Structure 1
């Protein structure tokens, strides 16, 4: 099973549209995980209509329409893997411990908010993944998203994809 992980799309504030490589990856994925901060309903509708399966939450920048349609946290089992999604996890310092305590029943937790890619494993084995942002790199050198392979209930290779610089907005 192929997963696409993304977060913090912030359309149309940070970009006018999702990058073409991200959309191509959506088409190839068996499941798409979005960890919040959509900021517009059109992006949710686009991914919901395009993805085979969409697992998604709202973020702190999402308004009432998105909050009405998306939970704050999501949990799903994919091929035996217990996956959770949340937008915010707090400061980087102590993140592994806090998340392991809050989500003891998960194998993988996907989160966003910082726009900073993150891939660590907490004590006890919880894998923490932040795909960054495909539209707003903030202090990072690149806009990013992740893909991951899932086989037999185990997370395999996780790849961080760096997107080419996008043209300046006019």
Structure 2
């Protein structure tokens, strides 16, 4: 049986939005594992995701301070159904990202990252899959707010889907 993953990053709650969109909360309830690649901004979202998700693997981002940095690592690692998965917020510039991450995380099969708010899905020459789910609350220069889902089973990652949230689904700050 496969493990259902929900990949999030750059939620910026409540700085960019009061809450996660309803669609994302539904996905939290359906996931076996929620992965969050940093920039929470407020510890209350961490508390709520821990309470509402079956399992959470997460790291802190550059906008996270205080209790978030005390409770979360800079890099999180977990093995899920034979998939060696890492989570980090920043990976530096897009130019030469594959080569840098391949050298830095040569013990992983998948690296989930954030920071840019730009969805990303590539595979390095060594087979390391790099995934950035974008942001479900702050699209910046992207056409949509986004998140990803995937499945892990028998040492492989599959069913990777980038979900685009409809305009207006984000609960914006007043």
Q: Same fold (TM over 0.5)?
A: yes
| Aligned with residue 167 of structure 2, among 151, 165, 168 | 165
Q: How does 1:21-170 map to 2 (within 5 A)?
A: 21-166=23-168, 169-170=173-174
Residue 151 of structure 1: CA displacement? 1.6
Aligned residues: 170
How far 1:148 sits from its partner (Å)? 0.2
- How far the C-alpha of 1:149 sits from its partner, in A, is 1.3
Question: Whole-Å Cα distance in 2 between the matches of residues 129 and 23 of structure 1?
Answer: 20
* TM-score normalised by the chain length of structure 1: 0.98
Q: 2:20 aligns with which of 18, 21, 37?
A: 18
Inter-partner Cα distance in structure 1 for 2:131 and 2:83: 14
SS at match of 2:40: coil
Cα distance in 2 between the residues matched to 1:62 and 1:83: 22
Point out which structure has higher relative CO (alpha carbons under 8 A, 6+ apart). Answer: 2
RMSD: 0.9
- SS of the residue corresponding to residue 16 of structure 1 reads strand
Return the alpha-carbon distance in structure 1 between the equivalents of residues 119 and 173 of structure 2: 24
Rate the CA distance shift 1:61–1:147 in 2: closer, same or farther, 3 A: same
Shift of 1:169: 4.3
Q: Secondary structure at the match of 1:44?
A: helix
Alpha-carbon distance in 2 for matches of 1:169, 1:128:
31
In structure 1, stretches of 5+ residues that fail to align are none
Is the deviation greater in 157-166 or in 32-41?
Answer: 157-166
- Report the TM-score, using the length of structure 2 for normalisation: 0.96
**What stretches of structure 1 move > 4 A for 4+ residues in a row?**
none
Following TM superposition, by how much is the alpha carbon of 1:168 offset from its aligned partner in structure 2, in angstroms?
5.5
- Structure 2 unaligned blocks of 5 or more: none
